[in-house]
Amino acid sequence: MKKTLRSYLKVLPVLLMCALAQPAWAQSVVVTGTVISSEDGQPLPTVTVREKNTNNGMTTDMNGRYRLTVSGKDAVLVFSFVGFVTQEVVVGNQTTINITLNPNVSELGEVVVIGYGSQEQKDLTSSISTVKTDEINKTPTAQAMQALQGKVPGLQIVSSGAPGAAPTVRVRGIGSLEGNAAPLYVVDGMFFESIDFLNPADIETISVLKDASASAIYGVRASNGVILIETKSGSYNKQAEVVYDGYYGVQVAQNVLKLANAQQFTEYALATGSSADAAFIDNAFQRFGRSRINPNVPNVNTDWYGQVLETAAPIQNHSLTVSGGSDNTRYSLGVNYFQQDGLLKSTRNEYERLNLRSKIDFDVNENLRVGGNINISNGTQYVAENSVWFKTYFAVPILPVYDDLNTAATPVRLSNAQTLGYRGSQNPMYDLLYNDNRNKIGKFLANFYAEADLIPDRLTFRTAYNYSYSNINSRNVNFEYSDGVTDFQSSIRRSHATSFNQIWDNYLTYKQNIGLHNITAVAGYSFRSESTEGLFARGTELDPSPSRIQEELWYISLADVIDQGGVGDFGAKTYGSSYFTRLAYNYDDRYLLYGTYRRDGTNIFQQKWGNFFTIGAGWVLSEENFFNLSGVDFLKIRGGWGQLGNAGVTPSVGAPTVEQRFLAIDGVRVPGNVVIPTYDYVDRWETTEELNIGVSSRMFNERLSVEADYFQRDTKDAAVTIILPLIRENVRRSAAGIRNSGIEVAMNWSDELANGISYRVGGNFATLNNEVLTLGGPQYLDGGQAEFRQRSIVGQPLQAFFGYETDGIFQNQNEINNSGYTAEFINDSGIEPGDFRYKDQNGDGVIDDQDRVVLGSFLPTLTYGFNLAVSYKNFDFSADFQGQSGHSILNRKRGEIIFTTDTNIDAELATNLWTGEGTSNKYPSAAGLRKGWNQSMSDYFVEDGSYFRIQNVRLAYNIRNKTVLGTDIPDARITFTAERPLTVFNYNGFNPEVANGIDRQTYPIPAVYTLGLNIKF
C-alpha cells in the first residue's frame, strides 16, 4: 500500500510536467540581464523570469541579475514580480535583455486576501474592498476600524469618543438583532470580535468581505460580514530598515451642546407653574444671592459642560519598526506606544497601550516554509463614570461647582442641589472626583504555520495554529465622601477574566493551469475552541480609606466588609469544527467561476451542524474579441450567491431556569430560588442568504475605476425578543426574517499632470433598505422601553421608533375646538393651548394607539464619502469627507423629563418654548413639557440624525535624498492632520453618531489635530 502510494506520488509530478512542457527542439539561446525598478532605479531581486508557455524559468539574484537558456529566437521572456506590471519581451537576436519594471498602478493585478488564500483582483467574483496601510494611518486613532469611516461603501462606522473604546462597525446594515451585528475579524487567521488591541500601524491590509460569496468560507461566523486583517511582514532580500512613525496632537470636543443658562433656566422653571420649582429658585436666591445684571436670576451661572470638559486633551503615538530579510528569511519587528487622554477633567479618563510584535517567515528549503507571528498588547484604560455625561446635561445652572456653605461636604466642599430642595445632588463633580475605574487589558496573540509544497507549484499543504490569550482585570474604587447631606462609604470591586482561544487550520491548496484553464482548489479542516473564566469580588469600608494618593492600598483585603452578594464567578466554553473547500476557476481570464462549501459544527446550539454553500461567476467582457468600447480598459460583470451563519446570537437553554436570589428572613440572609418559567428558545444560528451582482471597470488608461454592486441579504431564523404578557422576562425566539438591500458604488480617478502634479479624486456611496420580512406569525413585535416604543413591523425597518406624529402646537382654544378631535375627547384629555397637536391618523376624532405610526429608523439609508488627494513635488495633500442620512435619533435626554422634572433642559428647547399664541409651532409650553399628553412617544423625541463631516484633512511634506553638511539625512515625512474638524448636523445633541439610535448619555466625538513625523533610517 505504502509502496504504491509512494510510486504514484513519485510519478505524478512528472506526468503533470510532461503534460505542460513544450518539446524543445529549436536552437537554444542564453540570455542574461538585469531587472531594475522604475521607481528608484534599484535592482529588483526575486523577479520571476520565465520562458512563455514553458516550465523554464528562474528568479533574479540579489543584484537583479538573471541568466536563462531559452529555446530560440522566437522565445518570449516573461518578467513578473508582485506589485509590478508583468512585461513580455521577444528574445530575437538579443543576448542581453535589461528590463525596467513599472510598479503596478493598476489594482487589477493586485493580490487580494480572501479566506484561506488569496486571489487576484481581476479574478474576483465577489465584493471585497481592501484598505491599505497608508490609508489606515492617515487617521490618528488607536482603533484601526475608525480609519475606514467613509472609505468603504456599505461599511458603517459609528465612532466612539471614549479613550480605548472601539467604534461600532456594520457591514451592509443589520441582519441580526444581537451582538451589535458586529462582523467577524480574522487577524492573520485568528478570530476576534474586535480589533481594539491592534496597533493600526502594524496592519498591512484590511479586507472587508462584504458579500456572502466572499465571506461564506467563514461559515457560521460570517453573517455580519468578515474583515480580514493582515499584519505587516518583512521583505526578502532587503536591508534592514528602521522606521520611526509617530504623532502628537490634541483632541477638542466638538459641537458641545448648549444648555439653558441660569436666566433661561429660571424663566423656564417659573413658567412651568410648579410651586416646587419656584421654591428651588427662591432657595438659590437665599443661598447664592441675586444676579446684579438681572435680579430675577440667582447669582450663579454654571456652564457644566465647561466645568467637566478639557479644552484640549492630548493624544500621542510612537512606533518603531525594524523590517527586512535575506534570501530565505524575512522579518518585521515593532514596538508601539499609544496614549490618549479623555475629554473629562478632574478624573482619570485615559487609555494607554504598549504593543510588541514580531513576524518571521523562513524558507526551510524550496518546498517548505515556516513562520510565526507574535503580537503582545498591554492596555490600561481608565474609564470615567458614564453618569457624568448624564448629570452634566441635567445639572441646573443655578448651582455652583463649589459651595462654602456646604460645610459637611468632605473632602471637598462641592455644592449639592439638595440644599436647594432638588431631589438629587446633581453636581457631576461627585462622579468625577470620587471614583476610579481601571481596566487592564492584556492580549497575547500568536500563530505559527508550516507550509509544504507536496507537489511543487501545484499542491501545497498548510497547517496553522492560532492562539490568543487575553485577560481583563477591572478595578472599580469608590472613595469615601460626603455630599453634605449623605455620607458615602468607600468600596472596591475587582473582576478578573481570562480567555483562551485557539484555532487550528489545516488545508491543501491545489493550483494548475491547463492551457487557458486556470484552477485553484482548497480543502481543509479547522477546529476552534474558545473559553473564558472569571472571578469577581467586592469589599466595602476600606481601611485606610482610599485616596488618589494611596493607590497602593486599594485592595479588597483591606476592606472591613466583604460583600456577600458581590462575590462570584463565571465561565463559558464554545467549540467549533469546520470542513471547508473552495474552487476557483477561470478560462483565459475571461470566464470566472467560484464556489465554496463549508460544513460547520458548534456546541452552542441544539442544531449542531450546518452546511453553507456559495457560488459566484464573472465575465470579463473586455477580454472578448468583440469588445470594442473605446476608453474602457477593463469591464467585468460578476455575481454571487451564498449562505452564511450567525452563531453570534446568545444561545438559549430552551427550558425554564432557576435563579438564586437572596432575601432577609428575621434578619438572616437566606437564599431563595425563583423559577423563571419563560425561556428563550434559540436552537439554531441565524442563516443569511445573499445575492450580489456587480460591475468592475477600469477606463481611460486605468485612470478611472468603477466598482458597483447591488446586494440583497436575507436573514432567516433571526433571534428576536418577544414581549410576553404579564411577565417582565422577555423571551427570544428564532422567528424573524430580515432583509437588507442596497446599492454600493465606488469611483476613483487618478492622474498625473504634465507639471508634476498628481492627483486623485474618489467618491463612494451606499444605500441601505432594511426591512422586516416576517416575525414568525405576528405582524409586529414591540421593543425598546415602554415609554419610548420601538416596534418591528413586517415591511418596515427593524425596531423602528413608533408613536404619534405631531402637527404643530395648538395656539389657542379655537384651534383645539376645530382640531377634529371630539368634544368628549378634548374634555377628557385636558388639552390646552401650548400642547402638541397630534395627527389623528384614522380620523376617528380620538388620539389613541391606533394613531401611532413609524417615526423613523436608527439605520441610515444613505452613507457616502468622497476624497481628494494632490501631490506636488514634496508636498502631499489629502482631504476626506463623509456623511450619512436617513436615520433618526431618539433624543432620550429630552425624554428623561417623564421620570424627573427638576433638571435643566437644552438651550434650544428653553428658548423656543411656546409662551403664547404664535410663539412656537414646534415646542410645547413649559408647563406642557410636564404633561402626559406631550410626553407620549412622538416625533418630537425622534429627530433627524443626518450629518456631513470633514473627516480628515492632511498635509505632508517629504524630505527625500537630502544632505546636510555633506551627510545624508534619512528620508522623512512631516504631517499635519486634522481629523473630524467639522461636523454639520441638525440633531439637538452632542453627537449624531449614536449606534442604537438612543441618545441617553453619549461620549462626545472629539476633533483631533496632530503633527506627525515619519523617519526611515
Partner 1 sequence: MKALNIVKKLTALSLAMVLATGCDDKLNDPLEQRVLVEDTDYTKTENMAQLITGAYELLYALQWETFPLLSVRGDDVNAAGDQFPLTETDFFRYDRSFWMYNSTWLNFYDDIIKFHATMEEIEKYKEFAANPATADQYIAEIRVMRAFELFQLARLWGNILLPTSSQTDGLYTTPVSSFEEVMTHISEEMDAAIPLLPNVRPNQRTDIKGGITRYTALAVKAMANLELKNYQAVADATGAIISSNAFELYPDFYELFKIPGKLSNESLLEFQYSDFGQSSGEAEYYLHAFFGPNNWTPAVAGSSGGWGFWEPTMKYIKFMLDRNETVRLETSVLFTREGIQRIQEDPNYANLPAFVSNTTRDGDVIGRTDNQPNPRAIFSSGKHYLPSNQLTPGRTRYGENKNFLVIRYAEILLMHAEALVNGATSTVMSADDAVNEVRNRAGLPDISGVTLNEVLNEKFAEFGMEWGIRFYDLARYERTSELTHDGRTYTPAARFIPYPLAQLDLLTQLNGN
Cα 581 to Cα 191, 219, 518, 578, 857, distances in angstroms: 19, 11, 17, 10, 39
Residue closer to partner 1, measured from CB, 814 or 900 = 900
Out of 257, 354, 408, 927, the residue judged to bind partner 1 by CB under 8 A: 408
Closer to partner 1 at the Cβ: 189 or 992?
189
Contact criterion met (CB below 8 Å) for 620 and 635: yes
Does 566 contact partner 1 by CB under 8 A?
yes
Verify binding: residue 273, partner 1, rule CB under 8 A: no
Q: Choose, by CB under 8 A, the member of 561, 753, 969, 984 that binds partner 1.
A: 561
Instruction: Tell me which of 2, 18, 93, 754 binds partner 1, using CB under 8 A.
Output: 2
Give the nearest distance from C-beta 264 to partner 1 in angstroms.
Answer: 19
Q: Taking the mean position of all CA atoms in its chain, how far away is CA 265?
A: 39
CB of 489 to partner 1, least distance (A): 5
Location of C-alpha cell 462597525: 169
Q: How far apart are CA 973 and CA 957, in angstroms?
A: 6
Nearer to partner 1, 452 or 553 (CB): 452
Query: What amino acid is encoded at 627 in this protein?
Result: F
Q: Is 1 in the site for partner 1 (CB under 8 A)?
A: no
Residue of 107, 563, 589, 702 interacting with partner 1 (CB under 8 A): 563
Pairing of strands 704-722, 731-752: antiparallel
CB 531, min distance to partner 1, A:
9
The binder of partner 1 chosen from 110, 204, 241, 282 (CB under 8 A): 282
Tell me the window of 125-133, 597-605, 700-708, 872-880 that interacts with partner 1 (CB under 8 A). Answer: 597-605
Query: Binding to partner 1 by residue 670, rule CB under 8 A?
Result: yes
Between residues 477 and 1008, which has the closer beta carbon with respect to partner 1?
A: 477
240 binds partner 1 (CB under 8 A): no
> 174 near 740, Cβ under 8 Å?
yes
Backbone angles phi, psi at 429, to 5 degrees: -65, -30
The least CB distance from residue 587 to partner 1, in Å, is 31
In this chain, which stretch among 243-251, 275-283, 743-751, 866-874 interacts with partner 1, using CB under 8 A?
275-283
Task: Between 762 and 778, name the residue whose CB sits nearer to partner 1.
Answer: 778
Taking CB under 8 A as the criterion, the residue among 44, 259, 313, 420 binding partner 1 is 420
Query: According to the binding rule CB under 8 A, does residue 15 interact with partner 1?
Result: no
Assess 9 for contact with partner 1 (CB under 8 A): yes
DSSP 8-state class, residue 444:
E
Q: Counting contacts by CB under 8 A, is residue 423 touching partner 1?
A: yes
From candidates 6, 73, 132, 960, binder to partner 1 by CB under 8 A = 6
Those residues with Cβ within 8 angstroms of residue 6's Cβ, 6 or more apart along the chain or in another chain: none
Considering only residues 946 through 1005, tell me which ones interact with partner 1, judged by CB under 8 A. Answer: none
Q: Going by C-beta distance under 8 Å and a sequence separation of 6 or more, which residues neighbour residue 820?
A: 840, 843, 845
Stretch that binds partner 1, among 334-342, 566-574, 712-720, 1008-1016 (CB under 8 A): 566-574
Binding-residue pattern over the window 283 to 312 for partner 1, x denoting contact by CB under 8 A: x--x--------------------------
Minimum distance from residue 788 beta carbon to partner 1 (Å): 10
Within 895-954, the residues that bind partner 1 by CB under 8 A are: 898-902, 930-933, 935-936
- Paired sense of beta strands 226-231 and 184-187, if any: parallel
Contacts (CB under 8 A) with partner 1, residues 346-405: 367
Q: Which stretch binds partner 1 (CB under 8 A): 115-123, 277-285, 306-314, 1002-1010?
A: 277-285
Rank residues 464 and 859 by Cβ distance to partner 1 and give the closer one.
Answer: 464
CA distance 346 to 384: 10
Let me know: does 619 contact 688? Beta carbons within 8 Å.
no
Of 479-508, binders to partner 1 (CB under 8 A) are 482, 485-489, 491, 504, 506, 508
Alpha-carbon separation of residue 178 from 224, 649, 856 (angstroms): 11, 6, 20
**Segment 210-229, which members bind partner 1 (CB under 8 A)?**
none
Minimum CB separation of residue 662 from partner 1 in Å reads: 7
Burial class (CB in 10 A: 0-12, 13-18, 19+), 377: buried
The reply on whether position 824 binds partner 1 by CB under 8 A is no
How far apart are the C-alpha atoms of 677 and 589, rounded to whole Å? 61
Q: What is the 3-state secondary structure (H, E, C) of 556-608?
A: HHHEEEECHHHCEEEEEEEEEEEEEEEEEEEECCCEEEEEEEEEEEECCCCCC
Binding positions for partner 1, 575-594, rule CB under 8 A: 575-577
Contact 136, 676 (CB under 8 A): no
Interface with partner 1 includes 549 (CB under 8 A)?
no
Applying CB under 8 A, does 665 fall inside the site for partner 1?
A: yes
To 5 degrees, how large is the angle CA 741–CA 744–CA 745? 160
Decide whether 57 or 424 has the Cβ nearer to partner 1.
424
667 makes contact with partner 1 (CB under 8 A): yes
Instruction: Kindly state the DSSP code that residue 84 receives in the 8-state scheme.
Output: B
671 binds partner 1, rule: CB under 8 A? yes
Question: What values do phi and psi take at 817, rounded to 5?
Answer: -65, -30
> Which of 668, 823, 964, 965 touches partner 1 (CB under 8 A)?
668
Q: Which stretch binds partner 1 (CB under 8 A): 112-120, 274-282, 973-981, 996-1004?
A: 274-282
User: Of 789 and 887, which has the nearer Cβ to partner 1?
Assistant: 789
- Rounded-to-integer distance, Cα 692 and Cα 209, Å: 12
First to last CA, the chain: 58
Binding mask 443-462 for partner 1 (x = CB under 8 A): ---------x-x------x-
723 lies in the site for partner 1, by CB under 8 A: yes
Residues within window 766-805 making contact with partner 1, judged by CB under 8 A: 782, 786-787, 789
User: In whole angstroms, how close is the CB of 500 to partner 1 at the nearest point?
Assistant: 14
Q: Which of 518, 516, 524, 563 is nearest to 542 (CA)?
A: 563
Are 504 and 437 a contacting pair, CB within 8 Å?
no
Torsion angle of C-alpha atoms 903, 904, 905, 906, degrees rounded to 10: -150
Indicate which single residue of 48, 87, 301, 418 sits in contact with partner 1 (rule: CB under 8 A): 418
Is there binding between residue 663 and partner 1 (CB under 8 A)?
yes
Contact between 849 and partner 1 by CB under 8 A: the answer reads yes
521 binding partner 1? (CB under 8 A): no
Three-class HEC string of 329-372: EEEEEEEEEEEEECCECCCCCEEEEEEEEEEEEEEEECCEEEEE
Coil vs helix vs strand at 430: helix
Among 26, 240, 279, 364, binds partner 1 (CB under 8 A): 279
Looking at the Cβ atoms of 706 and 897, the one nearer to partner 1 is 897
Which residue among 83, 515, 830, 916 contacts partner 1 (CB under 8 A)?
830
- Hey, what amino acid is at 601? G
DSSP output for 296-322: TSBS----HHHHHB-S-EEEEEEEEEE
Q: Which of 98, 295, 570, 842 binds partner 1 (CB under 8 A)?
A: 570
**Residues within window 616-655 making contact with partner 1, judged by CB under 8 A:** 651, 653, 655
731 three-class SS: strand
Strands 836-838 and 591-602 turn out to be unpaired
- Return the half-sphere exposure (C-beta side, CA atoms, 13 A cut-off) of residue 419: 25
Q: Retrieve residue 912's grid coordinates.
A: 423656543
Using the minimum distance from each CB to partner 1, give the nearer residue, 549 or 786. Answer: 786
Number of residues counted as binding partner 1 (CB under 8 A): 112
Say how far apart CA 1017 and CA 1012 lie, in whole Å.
Answer: 16
